[in-house]
Structure 1
Amino acid sequence: MMRFNETPPPPLHQITSLSNLTSTMNNKAQIQRASPWPGFPTSKSLGIFGDANCMEQLLVHCANAIESNDATLAQQILWVLNNIAPPDGDSNQRLASGFLRALIARAAHSGTCKALTAMADAHASTLAIDTHKFTVIELASFVDLTPWHRFGFTAANAAILEAVDGFSIVHIVDMSSTHCMQIPTLIDSIAKRPDGPPLLKLTVAGFTEDVPPTLDLSYEELGAKLVSFARSRNVVMEFRVIPWSSSNGFCTLIDHLRVQQHLMYGESQGEALIINCHMMLHYIPEETLTMNSNANPSTSNPFESSSPNSSLRTMFLKALRSLDPTLVILVDEDTDFTSNNLVCRLRSAFNYLWIPYDTIDTFLPKGSKQRQWYEADICWKIENVIAHEGAQRVERLEPKSQWVQRMRNAGFRGIPFGEEAVSEVKSMLDEHAAGWGLKKEDDDLVLTWKGHNVVFATAWIPS
């Protein structure tokens, strides 16, 4: 096993290409360092590896070395990455630094590459990701910084207002990763309805896991604030929170909604049921599961009656369809983090998560607290995608095309967003940096950054 203070790497100014670097690393000559990892001075000769493509290739080689338990090669690549990707560098360097930390954490979590495990232990304080617990005001300001969430809020609220026109009772089921930050604007709009506001019921799926962004108060306290805000707008609102875990695929929530429908049977003709899914469904595990063979095939609960080859995502969407909702809004990030292959997942994440790092430079000054909070949340996502497997890997994003197919298979039909929704999204984007854009794909809306898909918004009704 190689220690960290044994021989310096070959002169890096002699390396003229990535393949040359890989070849040099593969000779596995022991290398010595003048100072312990990771605190060495940066060499100007490392600049040739400073572009995003080279950093991605280095990360891929490092991931392969860790997976094959080649500590010597992995350590050499990490040395290079540490010198070309400082955590306070430009957007590409900070992105690569986040992946560097995640790869070391993976080695530590998986028990492979014992030398890297020791490295992680030695630098635990610098590798730890310190996510911030937001106050309600802080989180509202945080969400307003970019269109990342506001895009989905704006498109969804416009579609919801159109769908609930004429209903005397509106039941919103909010499955959102942003702790109801969308709801105050919706309350404001509902309060202005010409025929008067409906009774508003809000059922919230409360996360039981600490997934960023996190809030510093309970859902009960948050609900009290929302009810008070609604009252100030002359809207009568009822609030319920249903705790859920990503491992059970929202089955507790579905059971609760089914019970409520049963209790309201014969009285619910004037009630609109709106299911608002904002960047949360990808936390449902996507793998095919083996179902309980003792499940009653005659049950009406799709979570119990689905075939042995059903996945929790399929089962959840079919369960939603059985509730016959008035409208389902699905908003999520348009990328794929579901591969079981680490390198495929790394490439997909690297080629998507450059976007938040790139946007940060347009609206947050270097060294600001908000920037630290923002990037800590991204680093949490990177570590979850790269360092974890099984039930611990909850960031399992799927692209829009996959969700569209899932929704159709579950018995839903896509509907277009109205002109009002498109106009409001465009007005919202005018408040942000010029790189943000909007495009329409069939019935759907897609938020873009410099032409690259970022977040999609889709609207569905039972077919």
Structure 2
Amino acid sequence: MAASTALQCLVSAASLAAGSPLHRAAVAFGEALGARMMRSLPGLALALQLQAPAPPTLAAANAARQSFAALCPPVRVAATAANHVILEAMAAEQWVHIVDLSGASTSQWIELLHLFATRPGGPPSLRLTVVNDQDDFLAQAAGLLTQEAVRLHVPFMFMPVRSHIDRMLLPSAASLNVVPGLGEALVISSTLQLHRLIADELTITLPPAAVSNNDQELTTTTTTKQITKADGLLHALSELKPKLLVLTEHEVDHNSPDLSDRVPNAFDYYTVLYRDLEGLGFVDRVTVEHVLLREEVMDIVTSDGVQRRERHEVMARWEQRMQVAGFQPAQVNISAGKAAARLARQLNNGGLSMFMTHKADKGCLFVCSRNKPLFAVSAWVPVPSE
């Protein structure tokens, strides 16, 4: 049994690493569809002495996410777009606090430190709160970013929060190191993680409402409502009154309950991503594809109900969620799109591009590859109190 399992894992890894991007994507989806079939026929898997490969460790998954964020061309372009949106919004601020809910990579914040260092009038004093559940990553990020900030003469403080967005319920200001009245401009950043909370539900209590009974007497009643954990988190974040919230998500719909809808959409999407990883070194590419993308494909294809976490949605749907949570679109300067487009041209390996859409002078940036939107970067501010 052990030898059979080891051989299966070895063949799987070798298959995923070899061949064209289309072949590697097909292997990943074939493996996922096979796993789904075996799950429905457990007797067959037992007869063939087949055992599902163990999922990657948290450390391995974190390392793959870091490589993906730092090296995948479309993700790098999305990070640059987000940084320039932040730079524009913070142009007049001297005290800035950024809360990174994703905690995937330091590369984005190193780039932002460089942008702040060359800002006309000098850099702001920057506090960066990073949410991550790996002590090693937090320690490494603290050292690397602090060292770079000192070198660039940017006043800087790193604030770790050992947690994960999957485990965040309704965070308080204190839990995210937000200090009301300190005079800091608060920026919240979420990158490719918020969709994981769509499967979970919360029960919230609505404000008491006045109702009349048959005797025409007014009474108050309290009701409850079921919402997704993603919507609850967004509402809690709007209560913090950030100066800006930057949301980066996959621009694709993988949230259909119908498998026949999810699989074709996912195959088209991930095939493009596999192609965009061709320029990476072999080890980095295999790490990203086998540890990160393979697990995402497995989740989309094999999981149902609340177990399915990779519930990617298009920006039109996120716009609805943001507005219900108390946010409205923030103005995005065209310079942010131009900066990201320049990087896209530098990294172009066969179709990487950037375009920007406007809606009533508000903006959302889309990173595209081979004419297919892959990621959307949007900026939001709380709706002003009446």
Q: Under TM normalisation by the shorter chain, which class is it?
A: 0.7 to 0.9
Q: Shift of the alpha carbon at 1:162?
A: 1.5
Q: Give the structure 2 partner of residue 217 of structure 1.
A: 136
Change (3 A) 1:277 1:119: farther
In the alignment, which of 293, 307, 314 is matched to residue 378 of structure 1? 293
SS across alignment from 1:195? coil
- The alpha-carbon deviation at position 333 of structure 1 amounts to 0.8
CA–CA separation in structure 2 for the residues paired with 1:119 and 1:342: 27
Q: Is the 8 A contact 1:129 1:379 kept in 2?
A: no
Corresponding residue for residue 122 of structure 2: 196
AA matched with 1:440? M
The correspondence for 1:235, drawn from 142, 154, 157, is: 154
Distance 2:276 2:79 in 1: 19
1:247–1:285 Cα contact (<8 Å) kept: no
Post-superposition CA distance 1:302-356 (Å, at most 9, x none): xxx9942222122111111111111111111111222233333223212211111
Whole-angstrom distance in 2 between the partners of 1:253 and 1:106? 39
Bigger proportion of residues as strand: 2
Structure whose alpha-carbon radius of gyration is higher: 1
Letter in 1 for 2:50: A
- Give the counterpart of 2:100 among 174, 188, 192: 174
Look up the match of 2:314: 399
Q: 1:391 to 1:247 in 2, by over 3 A?
A: farther
Match of 1:323 in 2: 240
Are 2:254 and 2:312, in contact at CA under 8 Å, matched by a contact in 1? yes
CA distance in 1, matches of 2:116, 2:186: 15
2:78 alignment counterpart: 152
Report deviation, 1:390.
4.4
Q: Distance in 2 between matches of 1:113 and 1:333?
A: 33
Pick the aligned partner of 1:348 from 261, 265, 277. Answer: 265
Secondary structure of 2:336's partner?
helix
Provide the rounded CA distance (Å) in 2 between the counterparts of 1:325 and 1:243: 22
Unaligned runs of 5+ in 1: 1-35, 40-81, 209-215, 299-304
- 1:457 is matched with which residue: 354, 358, 377? 377
2:334 aligned residue: 419
SS at match of 2:26: helix
Describe the shift of the 1:345–1:410 C-alpha distance in structure 2 as closer, same or farther (beyond 3 A). same
Separation in structure 2 between the aligned mates of residue 142 and residue 317 of structure 1, nearest angstrom = 25
Deviations 1:338-395 (A, max 9, x none): 223333322321221111122234x247xx2222112212111111222234454321
| Distance apart, 1:101 and its partner CA | 1.5
Seen in structure 2, the aligned counterparts of structure 1 residues 387 and 139 have a Cα distance that, compared at 3 Å, is closer
Deviations 1:182-205 (A, max 9, x none): 101111111222322222111112
- Counterparts of 1:415-454 in structure 2, within 5 Å, are 415-432=330-347, 433-442=349-358, 443-454=363-374
Distance 1:348 1:307, change over 3 A: farther
Report if the CA contact (8 A) 1:173-1:276 is conserved: yes
Q: Which has the higher contact order (CA 8 A, sep 6+)?
A: 2
User: How far apart, in 2, do the equivalents of 1:398 and 1:453 lie?
Assistant: 12
Gaps of 5+ in 2: 209-221
- For residues 328 and 224 of structure 2, the distance between their equivalents in structure 1, rounded to whole angstroms, comes to 23
Report if aligned partners of 1:384, 1:395 keep a CA contact under 8 Å in 2.
yes
1:282–1:296 distance in 2 versus 1, CA, 3 Å: closer
Q: Distance in 2 between matches of 1:166 and 1:435?
A: 36
* CA 435–241 in structure 1, closer or farther in 2 if over 3 Å, else same: same
Pair 314,219 (structure 1): closer, same or farther in 2 beyond 3 Å: same
| 2:191 counterpart of 1:278 | yes
Letter in 2 for 1:232: R
Matches within 5 A, 1:353-372: 353-361=270-278, 363-364=279-280, 368-372=282-286
| Deviation per residue, 1:206-250 (Å, 9 max, x gap) | 147xxxxxxx93313322321222122112222222233444445
